[in-house]
Structure 1
Amino acid sequence: MASPLPAVHDTPDPDFAELLARRPQLKAHALDGLLMDEVPLVQIARAVGTPSWVYSAATLRRRYGALRDALAEAGLDASIHFAAKANDSLAVLRVLAAEGAGADVVSEGELRAARAAGIPAGRIVFSGVGKSHREIALALEEGILQINAESAEEVERISEVASAIGRVAPVSLRINPDVDARTHAKISTGLAENKFGIAYTDAAALYARMASLPGIRPIGLAVHIGSQITEGMAGYRAAYSRVAELAQALIGRGLPVERLDCGGGLGIPYRDEVPPSPAALAGAIKATLGPLGLPVMLEPGRWIAGPAGVLLASVVLQKRGQNRRFVVLDAAMNDLVRPAMYDAWHGILPLAPDLLHAPLSPADVVGPVCESGDTFTRGRALPDLPPGALVAFLDAGAYGATMSSTYNARPLAAEVLVDGHRWAVTRPRQTHEALLANQVMPEWLGAGA
């Protein structure tokens, strides 16, 4: 399949020291090499193998706390619901649940994962454009906080399902504010051309319709304009201003508006971006929605989990082309698809202490999958990496494992949680036997070898 190449940047890539300086969860030890918190990553790689995902519990707690504190300091009555699509590891969800986080889910699987991790149903929001009858019924039976409806057709479906099982669904209407978040086209969700939400001009009439339908309790409005937003607060302010205007109009008509869902999307610095801070986001919410005096909700995913994770990989070999050096890893696009799908840039650090200070030369870092798109980066300055050398892809804690696949019949990688000096495998590496176990051979084809 054709895939875009990693983007060309106008500024030099950050060097190893700059990458480490911006990531307090990582440090270079003179003997043990690259550490996550207090654990040498080479220790995990040798014990568990590669590729493997590794997450820092301390980083999850720190970043959740920073966002929570920024909202509190702005005087907002706010709750945080972690976007499970970013990372649905039960261990990650459990760490955040213990901090008081709720969850934003978009499927039955994510709802079940959130509940299994200990997140109360009353802290769960169900979003997404295509909820099935089964998913709506499960959400209502679990007693979740709210369903974010994204179309008139879905509103009718929710009413039908809720009435059939004798429940009343708390429903928030997601509006599409037609606001440009100035992010990658594939993760923009707030433009009229995107599939998400109700057209702003249709929202008031549909909200009034919801109030008249059986099995539905309208509770508010929701908006989410995109992911990995790094271009300041203009998009947020524009979207929230439209939400405030609509909420005031609905209240003026005597319709109930209990709370407002502000979505997520706050970006992180993968390379040298300078994204807005949680305090800036809290300020934008206060300035636009604060005068309404309503509770607000946020649904961050990447901002909390992205910097908390790395993907460990081993060098299979270095291939010398006519004009290029290829570093071939055992990790591939089926593990980390973001570079192939989004032109995404991820920092790459060797784990060995000597390689962190060795001479550098340009290299194309690729995986073993049979696709030209299985390219993580081109021309990256890296040391000589002999077979068996270990590297870490940085900022891989969001949209890494959750977007991975078994393409080329490659088993899913292991997952590990680090907590201080402790670490544990939280999802064992999938075996080849498990990869084939759920396939059934039609009897007329006969037995295999």
Structure 2
Amino acid sequence: MDTIASSPTISTGTSARWLSRRSDGRLYAEAVPLSRIARAVGTPFYCYSAGALRQNYAALKAAIAASDVSICFAVKASSNVNVLAELARLGCGMDIVSGGEMARALAAGTPPERIIFSGVGKTRSEIRAALEAGLHQLNVESAAELEVVASVARETGIRAPIALRVNPDVDARTHAKITTAKKDSKFGIAIEEIPAIYAAASARAELKMVGLAVHIGSQILDLSPFRDAWAALADLVRRLRAAGLGVDRLDLGGGLGIGDDRHAGPDLAEYASIIAETVGDLGCALNVEPGRWLAGRGGALVSEVLYLKEGDGAPIAVIDAAMNDLMRPALYGAQHPVLTAEAPRPAGKDAACRLVGPVCESSDDFGKYEGLGTILAGDFVVFDNAGAYGAAMSSTYNSRDLVPEVLVDDGQFRIIRRRTNISDALKLEEPESWLAGDDPVR
């Protein structure tokens, strides 16, 4: 990995400055020293700022208010029910991709009419649960899925509100693994196939065709792909309406990226302007589905340095956080800004330090960092911009503990997901009774 320059301050666009280094040299999460939380909770752990969530939501809502755009948080980004509850209290809706996420959104207090069910592989049981719960809409991603939704709708006697997810063949110009709207993607229905499918579905009594959806990828910093996708969506709406079909809603998707100390984040005013220019005159109810933009800059992963060893070109610090706690570097080559929880010591002869985890994989490597000073065993290091796709993707690989989560609000903090240890895991693996292997159904 390339060497990453770290900064003792956080500068991430309109994000709340929830991490700050005070005169005592310590790094604070809102008004609580991170080292205080680390000693109380143990490491590694995720820390989130309730204030940052509130400020980010308010900033995005204000930016797109002129186009009357609703916001649905992408639950997959940060699925802790306490985080969702913070957003739900603000009036934020939820975008879900599984039955489990639906249960979390409802448990967090989100009204079902503010929940959109996306996802390419919904099961019959998930579709049934969504219809019975009265969700706002289901974003359908294939003709085959549409048939299953129609079947379940007939069985339940509940008319299904449907938006077809359009694949406009637009390159989001981000990492290949988080690009979702090119022609070869598994997501959505090819844009040229939409008119025939939409027309046929509109004639079915068990389906209520409400509109269209699109989502082109994640961590998008160049906003021009949004313009391309939404302009194509607007043209499609006009074609459908010219054919006498109603299109009342447009789900514009998520993917709005965040900046860091190396890259500027996208401009919200430009983002809002693109929405207004492309789809603002259609008279449709509009919504967006941000995940990372709302939560990413409001969270950090805190880890303790276990050992120091000599490396080729830079000393290696083995930390107690691993790829199972933060998968993004191993999975996407992602790079997170890193800070020290205490005031950095003067650097020795080596300007850079390589941070690696303890998991038995060469990919458990967070990269080389400059600006951390001299690192010693027992120090706490802090991965910033880790509030999205961090804890939500964590696992117990190597039979490690499941990382806990902590929420900070001004001068107080609380654990919102306890550490799940090996004793807890072994209880899940207690065997049940043997069952006969022969198939009784002939």
Q: Give the TM-score, by structure 1 length.
A: 0.93
Q: 2:162 aligns with which of 171, 178, 193?
A: 171
Structure 1 residues 322 and 397: alpha-carbon distance in aligned structure 2, compared to 1, 3 A threshold = closer
Is the contact between residue 16 and residue 356 of structure 1 (CA under 8 Å) also seen in structure 2? no
Structure 1 residues 405 and 220: alpha-carbon distance in aligned structure 2, compared to 1, 3 A threshold = same
Structure 1 residues 379 and 425: alpha-carbon distance in aligned structure 2, compared to 1, 3 A threshold = closer
The residue aligned with 2:339 is 349
Query: What does the per-residue CA deviation read over 1:257-289, in whole Å, with 9 as the maximum and x for residues that have no partner?
Result: 111010011100134112322221111010010
The 5 A counterparts of 1:286-301 are 286-301=276-291
The residue aligned with 1:53 is 46
CA drift of 1:18 comes to 6.1
Alignment RMSD (CA, Å):
1.8
The 5 A counterparts of 1:150-229 are 150-229=141-220
Is the contact between residue 400 and residue 421 of structure 2 (CA under 8 Å) also seen in structure 1? no
Provide the C-alpha distance between the structure 2 equivalents of 1:217 and 1:266, rounded to a whole number of angstroms. Answer: 29
Is the contact between residue 411 and residue 431 of structure 1 (CA under 8 Å) also seen in structure 2? yes
CA drift of 1:322 comes to 5.3
Provide the C-alpha distance between the structure 1 equivalents of 2:113 and 2:328, rounded to a whole number of angstroms. Answer: 33
The one-letter code sitting in structure 1 at the alignment partner of 2:77 is: A
Provide the C-alpha distance between the structure 1 equivalents of 2:45 and 2:87, rounded to a whole number of angstroms. Answer: 21
Provide the C-alpha distance between the structure 2 equivalents of 1:230 and 1:13, rounded to a whole number of angstroms. Answer: 20
Provide the C-alpha distance between the structure 1 equivalents of 2:114 and 2:345, rounded to a whole number of angstroms. Answer: 43
Q: How many residues align?
A: 432
Matched, 1:259 2:230: no
Q: 1:42 aligns with which of 23, 28, 35?
A: 35
Unmatched 5+ stretches in structure 2: 435-442
Matched, 1:33 2:18: no
Provide the C-alpha distance between the structure 2 equivalents of 1:69 and 1:443, rounded to a whole number of angstroms. Answer: 57
Give the % identical residues.
45
Structure 1 residues 296 and 106: alpha-carbon distance in aligned structure 2, compared to 1, 3 A threshold = same
CA drift of 1:309 comes to 0.2
Provide the C-alpha distance between the structure 2 equivalents of 1:400 and 1:406, rounded to a whole number of angstroms. Answer: 13
The residue aligned with 1:310 is 300
Query: What does the per-residue CA deviation read over 1:107-145, in whole Å, with 9 as the maximum and x for residues that have no partner?
Result: 011000000010110000000000000000000010000
Unmatched 5+ stretches in structure 1: 1-5, 445-449
CA drift of 1:177 comes to 0.4
SS in 1 for 2:163: strand
Provide the C-alpha distance between the structure 1 equivalents of 2:351 and 2:358, rounded to a whole number of angstroms. Answer: 21
Q: 1:15 aligns with which of 2, 7, 13?
A: 7
Provide the C-alpha distance between the structure 2 equivalents of 1:321 and 1:276, rounded to a whole number of angstroms. Answer: 37
Provide the C-alpha distance between the structure 1 equivalents of 2:94 and 2:347, rounded to a whole number of angstroms. Answer: 43
Is the contact between residue 174 and residue 217 of structure 2 (CA under 8 Å) also seen in structure 1? yes
The 5 A counterparts of 1:81-92 are 81-92=72-83
Structure 1 residues 14 and 362: alpha-carbon distance in aligned structure 2, compared to 1, 3 A threshold = closer
Query: What does the per-residue CA deviation read over 1:171-216, in whole Å, with 9 as the maximum and x for residues that have no partner?
Result: 0000000001100000001111111100010001111111122421
CA drift of 1:32 comes to 6.0
Provide the C-alpha distance between the structure 2 equivalents of 1:159 and 1:442, rounded to a whole number of angstroms. Answer: 37
The residue aligned with 1:110 is 101
Q: Give the TM-score, by structure 2 length.
A: 0.94
CA drift of 1:55 comes to 0.3
Structure 1 residues 321 and 311: alpha-carbon distance in aligned structure 2, compared to 1, 3 A threshold = same
Provide the C-alpha distance between the structure 2 equivalents of 1:356 and 1:177, rounded to a whole number of angstroms. Answer: 51
CA drift of 1:382 comes to 2.6
The one-letter code sitting in structure 1 at the alignment partner of 2:297 is: P
The residue aligned with 2:117 is 126
The one-letter code sitting in structure 1 at the alignment partner of 2:204 is: L
Is the contact between residue 176 and residue 223 of structure 1 (CA under 8 Å) also seen in structure 2? yes
The residue aligned with 1:140 is 131
Q: Which stretch shifts more, 209-218 or 113-122?
A: 209-218
Q: 1:422 aligns with which of 391, 405, 412?
A: 412
Matched, 1:405 2:395: yes
